[in-house]
Structure 1
Amino acid sequence: MPTDCISFNDTNYFSSLVCDYLEECQELQPFYNRFPKLENFKNQIEEKEVSYNQTSRNMLVLVLKEQYKTVNSSRQTLDNIALLEDSKTFTITTGHQLNLFTGPLYFLYKIISTINLTKALKEEYPDYNFVPIYWMASEDHDFEEINYFNFKGKKIRWNRDAGGGVGDLDTKDLDKVFETYSKELGQGTNANFLKQLFKNAYLNYKNLAEATRYIANELFKDFGLVVIDANNRNLKRLFIPYIKEELCKQTSHRAVSQTNKQINELSGNYKIQVNPREINLFYLKDGLRERIVYENGVYRVFDTDISWSEEDVLRHLDEMPERFSPNVIMRPLYQEVILPNLCYIGGGGELAYWFQLKAYFNTVNVPFPMLLLRNSVLIKTKKQSEKLEKLGVSLKELFAKQQDLINSQVKKLSTIDIDFSLQKEHLQKQFKALYELAEKTDKSFLGAVAAQEKKQVKGLSNLEKRLLKAQKRKLNDQVSRITEIQNQLFPGQSLQERNLNFSELYLEFGDQLIQQLILNLQPLKGEFLILEL
């Protein structure tokens, strides 16, 4: 299938932090471990090999086998789970919220980036094994962020009350959402596949975590994807030493606060994504997920009557580690403690908060993973490509804000020169002579000259705008066609991948959607892919 690329910087949709990272800006180097290049994985493997023990491997495999008991998985996935017991096996991980029916399209891109990186690493380092992991954010509690997906310009929403970690939410009332979605899908082979996928996941599995695992497995089991739900008693037991450190010493608060200060002092004016609390843990119990605070020598669960002394909270941790949940600051550490992981693949916002964590990892002596920006893709049809070519719209122009795109195209198509730059330049030359004259006479005359210059430049700008507006009316047909195709490819004036659900494209392209993404996504290339299907 035809493909093209554009730099992330040229899309104007990615932060300066992400673009500078991709350029390996020297200022950012203290905030990550190794840049994701094939040759750099050798040292990452050696570092992780020393730090990750066999006990952790055995427990990880035991938990995964238990979680996959109710899943009809592939031989590739089951083999990958078994391989994790081998000291020569490492993981590449991506994480995602438990969005209803996967949420935005980039869910696919995250996972396929992960799968394809494991393939590239196996070719480069054949003596080792590499397993793609999808980490389900089952302990998140932001239900309003995940309870819908967009389909053909409509929101398919799951309305209900929710509390606690979203992974435990029961799915019993999703039959109503299924009815709504089924009507929107219509008939056909691809529509029937999507209906069955939704129905089997949400009507046959008891909670959101199990349903999401089913969907991810159905879509990617042929590629050996392993899905993990880390909200697990035995996995949390491996993390107890770090939870104790957090409760007793508040290590993460000090380390991340210092890093945030360093980032704020950089010349790039980068935005801080997360601010640490004194204790970066939540407490989970019976639909409750609330933060743990330390006040006046007492540990307590905020906004409840649950409290402990230090001795009691540590005893409770040893007895019931599953009730202690890491927040956004500690979740990455939890991941790296329980997995033999080399690299985390995420979006720009995710990478930005990972950059805040390296000093914390160093403090607790856990290897910091390599960080890789997930693949981004714009999918278009052959018909859309032909329209763009006929309209004379380039890839770079297509990514412009709509008003900027229209203005540039009208100026390009117009038989009249709409750019008044020459007239403004001529005007400024005339006023230069007036300024020289004013200097020789009364200096109060300077203010009058400056005011007149400002007035006339503004007048020319207004005339330029009016001429542009008139030409837009004259070229209304071309403007409408340009607007229409950009709206198709950038729904809601945003990136396609942040708006559409995968099912909208699957309905049109079927199995080809995932197959072509697997063939074309190159996670280490570092460019935005435009793919024609």
Structure 2
Amino acid sequence: MRNETYLLSSAQPLTEAYIHRTDSRLEAIYGYHAGAEQDWDRRLKRLEESGGVRAEAAKLSEALRAYNERAGASSPEVSASINALAEGAPVVIGGQQAGLWTGPLLVIHKAVSIIAAAKSAGEQLGRKVVPVFWIAGEDHDWDEANHAYLISAEQELRKLAASRPDGARTSVSRTRISAEQWEQLLTELEQTLPHSEFKPALLDELRSMTEQAGSLSDMFAMILSRLFGAHGLVLMDADDPGVRRLEAPMFARLIERNDELEQAYRAQAERVKQLGYTLQADVTPGSSNLFLFDDQDSGGERLLLHKRDGLFRDRKEQVGLTEAELQRIAAEHPERLSNNVLTRPLMQDYLFPVLAAVLGPGEIAYWALTGEAFKALGMEMPILVPRMSYTMIEGTVAKHMDKYGLSFADVMERFEERRKEWLKEQDGLSIEQRFAEAGEVFATLYKPLLELAAGVQPSLAKLGDTNLQKIMEQIHYMGSKTVDAFNKQFEASTRQLDRIQLSLKPQGKPQERVLNMTAYWNRYQTAWLDKLLEAPYSRTGGHQIVYL
């Protein structure tokens, strides 16, 4: 199998410094390092010593089994993973917000990374390590979750999106999708995907899933189950009522120690800033870092709580709760509570014996804010593992890259420059050069005439300069139109170059941040996924170019 490595910068200085260990001061921030083999042994020992402070493994496994069965995860590998969880097996965990048809490819990359990291850790430690995918169904940002980008048969990038149903601004998992809306979304997908031998079967599978899916999160879980069930990936929706009930004691601690946790986040944020790094998550004074669904209805609005005048309030002051009242909700209706980005790592570590968390670049940066909060609760940040990143290059695209002498770096770093160079090389008529020379000759011949006119009447000097400028602009314009006309002879080549860019760097971004996996499933069934799973893996992340 053909693979190449490419250094794809994350644009996160803090993350880059952590991954490459270029700033020793960060050791005190993160504690462990994914690339240090001894840290995996050290973290496992810590987990074995602190088992009594987490949720009961048997009850968690029971809730996860019920959820995974609803998501269609019936494989023996998933069942074995859940059995291992019940017996206290450590986990490698990572997650993402649910997206339409799984959203951008980076979601798939994270799942692949979780599975590879768990396998790698298990081989080193000589015991079962369970891969877990945390679906952030509690998030309520519909516009982040509701769409997928695909390249159509006409080689156009199209955005397929689900409009938000009427009702409260609640979590994605509680936002219901009707059968009619699913059918509409499937129709749009069918119209966008190019024809292929695998297309009918793909659409049939997805249509079967929509018959059971009440939300984007449900559909997201079913697709992940289909793709990764054979690899033992256990799924968890953060908004699942069965899991929420197990979180009640931790919510009680987060409420009781809220002021202390707030101080821990603020102190750590100041520490990160003093080290010269930009904060990647808001640390707002007075924030509880907890959300409340404003009623017990499953469609209640999700409200961020702040502390003011001795009460927990939302921004619009629709609710105002004392600590005792909030504690009562935690005990009796924990499904009404929800974490934000700063408390979610703590809750995750309470539920699972987290050996390592697989994170994207932005996540690694904002996890730096949580270290003191872990310590405040007698916990410890797990090993942070950068997820792997991939670019898939289809055979036709690779052939076109070879045809035009383009490397992957050319496409990612200097594509427009290389495109112009190629077209210029085809110009045997030297059009740009000849028009430029003509302009120079004209200016040389015309300037003495302008001087003559100014000598006759000085006021004509300004008019002459303007006249010269307009004529030169017209010569340049005619040259540009001639170049355009010449380049039209290469429209087929231009389309091929456009396809390269659209496939590898759509919207000027890495492929993984834009394109959806259904395009590859449509053309290659799941062979594309097998190649990602077989690609070289590194605990410190990296970018692999995978040729399909």
Counterpart among 201, 204, 214 of residue 222 in structure 2: 214
Q: 1:246 to 1:389 in 2, by over 3 A?
A: same
Q: Deviations over 1:325-350 (max 9, x none)?
A: 11111111111110111111121111
Q: Give the CA deviation at 1:63.
A: 0.7
CA distance in 2, matches of 1:52, 1:190: 47
**8 Å contact kept, 2:190–2:203:** yes
Structure 1's 109 and 471: CA in aligned 2 closer, same or farther, altered over 3 A? farther
* Structure 1 counterpart SS, 2:388: coil
2-side partners of 1:253 and 1:404: how far apart? Answer: 50
Deviates more, 1:215-224 or 1:302-311: 302-311
Instruction: Return the alpha-carbon distance in structure 1 between the equivalents of residues 30 and 288 of structure 2.
Output: 24
User: Shift of residue 377 of structure 1?
Assistant: 0.8
Could you say if the C-alpha distance between residues 244 and 251 of structure 1 is closer, same or farther in structure 2, counting changes exceeding 3 Å?
farther
Give me the whole-angstrom Cα distance separating, in 2, the residues matched to 1:202 and 1:310.
Answer: 41
Structure 2 residue aligned with 1:85: 86
Bigger drift between 236-245 and 495-504 goes to: 236-245
SS in 2 for 1:104: coil
Q: Which residue in 1 is equivalent to 2:159?
A: 155
Q: Which runs of 5+ in 1 are unaligned?
A: 419-465
CA distance in 2, matches of 1:412, 1:362: 63
Q: 1:511 matched to which residue of 2?
A: 526
1:178 to 186, 207, 226: 186
Verify the 8 A CA contact 1:260 1:272 in the aligned structure 2: no
Q: Where does the alignment leave 5 or more consecutive residues of structure 2 unmatched?
A: 152-156, 433-476
Percent identity, aligned pairs only, is 22
* 1:137-180 superposed Cα distances (whole Å, 9 cap, x missing partner): 11000011111111221111111335211112222132211222
Query: Secondary structure at 1:132's aligned position in 2?
Result: strand
Specify the code of the residue in structure 2 equivalent to 1:369.
Answer: P
Matched to 1:215, the amino acid is I
Query: How much is the aligned-residue C-alpha RMSD, in angstroms?
Result: 3.0
Contact between 2:390 and 2:546, CA under 8 Å: does it hold in 1?
yes
Q: Paired residue for 2:104?
A: 104
1:114-144 deviation digits (Å, cap 9, x = unpaired): 1111122222222x21111110111000011
| 1:368-427 Cα shifts (integer Å, max 9, x gaps) | 1111111111111233323323323233222115445557778999999x9xxxxxxxxx
Superposed CA deviations along residues 71-96 of structure 1, whole A, max 9, x for unmatched, are 35100001110111223x11111101
Q: Is 1:272 aligned with 2:285?
A: no
**Cα 1:2–1:30 shift into 2, 3 Å:** same
CA apart distance, 1:471: 13
1:362 aligns with 2:375: yes
The number of residues matched between the two structures is: 479
Matches within 5 A, 1:251-266: 251-266=260-275
**Structure 2: distance between partners of 1:471 and 1:394:** 30
Q: Secondary structure at the match of 2:302?
A: strand
Question: What is the TM-score with the length of structure 2 in the denominator?
Answer: 0.80
Query: SS state of the match for residue 138, structure 1?
Result: coil
- Which of structure 1's runs of 4+ aligned residues deviate more than 6 A? 407-416, 469-476
2:40 matches 1:17: no
Deviation at 1:188, TM superposition (A): 4.2
Residue 170 of structure 1 aligns to a residue in which SS? coil
8 A Cα contact 1:472 1:479, kept in partner: no
**Within 5 Å, which residues of 2 pair with 1:401-416?**
401-406=414-419
Q: From the superposition, tell whether residues 297 and 520 of structure 1 become closer, same or farther in structure 2 (CA, over 3 Å).
A: same
Q: How does 1:162-201 map to 2 (within 5 A)?
A: 163-172=169-178, 173-185=181-193, 187-201=195-209
Residues 161-170 or 394-403, more deviating: 394-403
Give the CA deviation at 1:251. 2.7
Amino acid of the structure 2 residue aligned with 1:497 = E
- Greater displacement, 134-143 / 405-414: 405-414
Q: Equivalent residue for 2:5?
A: 5
CA distance in 2 between partners of 1:337 and 1:189 (Å): 46
1:343–1:369 Cα contact (<8 Å) kept: yes
Q: Which sits farther off after the overlay, 519-528 or 500-509?
A: 519-528
Question: What SS class does the counterpart of residue 356 from structure 1 fall into?
Answer: coil
Letter in 2 for 1:500: L
Q: Provide the rounded CA distance (Å) in 1 between the counterparts of 2:419 and 2:281.
A: 34
In structure 2, distance between residues paired with 1:381 and 1:69: 35
Instruction: Label 1:138 to 1:391 Cα distance change in 2 as closer, same or farther (>3 A).
Output: same
Q: Counterpart of 1:140?
A: 139
Equivalent position SS for 1:279? strand
Aligned to 1:320: 333
Name which of 380, 384, 391 aligns with 1:371.
384
2:489 paired with 1:491: no
Q: Give 1:29's match in structure 2, choosing from 27, 36, 41.
A: 27
Counterpart-to-counterpart distance in 2, 1:180 and 1:308: 45
1:498-522 Cα deviation digits (max 9, x unpaired): 1110011221221211111111151
